[in-house]
């Protein structure tokens, strides 16, 4: 009863959040958050299982929003977006992301900013619709090759983690998330962060993404690497399942001319925020005055 009451209050708070902007994307509604201004549009795409992308990316985009148009698209089962039991096939995910941007009247071309698993979506987007992608800035993004080698968590473990959310323990785990531990969020943002963590931790969409990700990676691997400007901001491998050397090698195999490694874990933009923002600004300046 207490859990139900707490979640009722949290949902009321979430419904009034200023970062909530739901738009139609196929049969559901996704959250598309915008801030900043500029000729170049940066579209942030969250890593797998990140329950609250708008707040997770906030420390980084706050340092970029004075010069660039910032967009965070929250996928199904993430942030303020609807939950579903829909396929997490890569074509479906990309369809929903592009539909959400269209519904929000945000025109490309875009600089895609994928973290982790969303690297697969970004590469596929550039393969299918190169005119829509001005460039990709990988925030320790994953490659198809990484998923060929990575051992995914067992279904037993995934179900156990989902059960923690069901019995109301997710907010306790939220405090260990990099966005909270970094101390970069305001008191109000921290409240919203915890509520979204409880709402989305190991959602059905996230669990289905994990089941589908290897197949999705194979789809991308079957096609040549896209020929778009590519900046890879790379971690020390901590939190990826790979050693620093192996993780760097996987990134190098994406054939980018711009690879910058940081001695920081997988959510590196919480640890090296200012340096990463500067590298992004340098990259964006180098690819032309207009996207």
Cβ 34 vs Cβ 82: under 8 Å: no
In a domain, 237, yes or no: yes
In a domain, 291, yes or no: no
Domain containing 24: what range? 2-286
Range with the poorest average pLDDT among 35-44, 60-69, 186-195: 186-195
Count: domains in the chain: 1
In this prediction, residue 290 carries a pLDDT of 43
Range with the poorest average pLDDT among 154-158, 201-205, 225-229: 154-158
Higher pLDDT, 4 or 207: 207
DSSP 140-194: EE--HHHHHHPPPPPHHHHHHHHHHHHTT-HHHHHTTSHHHHTT-S-HHHHHHHH
Give dist(CA 178, CA 267) in Å, integer. Answer: 7
In this prediction, residue 166 carries a pLDDT of 79
Name residue 260's beta-bridge partners: 233
Residues 128-134, mean pLDDT to the nearest whole number: 98
**Mean pLDDT computed over every residue of the chain:** 92
In this prediction, residue 235 carries a pLDDT of 98
In this prediction, residue 5 carries a pLDDT of 52
Cβ 27 vs Cβ 86: under 8 Å: yes
Q: Is residue 291's pLDDT more than 90?
A: no
Highest mean pLDDT, choosing among 149-153, 157-161, 209-213? 209-213
- DSSP for residue 271: T
In a domain, 89, yes or no: yes
Higher pLDDT, 285 or 2: 285
In a domain, 143, yes or no: yes
In this prediction, residue 217 carries a pLDDT of 97
pLDDT digits (tens, 9 = 90+) for 67-117: 999 999 999 999 999 999 999 999 999 999 999 999 999 999 999 999 999
Containing 140, the helix (H) or strand (E) segment is strand 133-141
Q: Is residue 208's pLDDT more than 60?
A: yes
What's the CATH number where 143 sits?
A: 3.40.50.1820
pLDDT digits (tens, 9 = 90+) for 253-274: 999 999 999 999 999 999 999 9
In a domain, 91, yes or no: yes
């Amino acid at each position: 009863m207490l859990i139900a009451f707490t979640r009722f209050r949290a949902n009321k708070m979430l419904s009034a959040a200023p970062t909530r902007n739901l738009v139609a994307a196929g049969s559901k509604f996704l959250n598309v958050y915008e801030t900043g201004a500029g000729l170049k549009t940066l579209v942030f795409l969250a890593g797998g299982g990140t329950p609250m992308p708008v707040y997770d990316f906030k420390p980084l985009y706050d340092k970029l929003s004075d010069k660039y148009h910032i967009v965070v698209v929250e996928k199904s089962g993430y942030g303020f977006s609807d939950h579903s039991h829909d396929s997490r096939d890569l074509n479906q995910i990309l369809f929903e992301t592009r539909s959400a941007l269209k519904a929000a009247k945000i025109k490309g071309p875009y600089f895609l900013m994928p973290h982790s698993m969303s690297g697969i979506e970004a590469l596929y987007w550039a393969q299918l619709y190169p005119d829509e992608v001005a460039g990709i800035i990988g925030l320790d993004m994953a490659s198809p090759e990484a998923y060929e080698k990575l051992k995914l968590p067992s279904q037993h473990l995934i179900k156990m983690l989902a059960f923690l959310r069901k019995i109301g323990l997710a907010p306790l785990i939220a405090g260990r998330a990099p966005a909270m531990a970094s101390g970069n969020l305001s008191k109000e943002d921290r409240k919203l962060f915890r509520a979204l963590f409880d709402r989305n931790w190991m959602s059905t969409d996230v669990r289905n993404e994990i089941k589908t990700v290897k197949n999705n990676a194979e789809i991308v691997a079957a096609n040549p690497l896209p020929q778009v400007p590519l900046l890879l901001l790379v971690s020390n491998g901590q939190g990826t399942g790979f050693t620093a050397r192996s993780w760097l090698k996987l990134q190098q195999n994406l054939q980018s001319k711009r690879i910058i490694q940081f001695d920081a874990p997988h959510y590196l933009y919480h640890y090296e925020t200012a340096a990463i923002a500067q590298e992004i600004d340098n990259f964006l300046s180098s690819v032309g005055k207009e996207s």
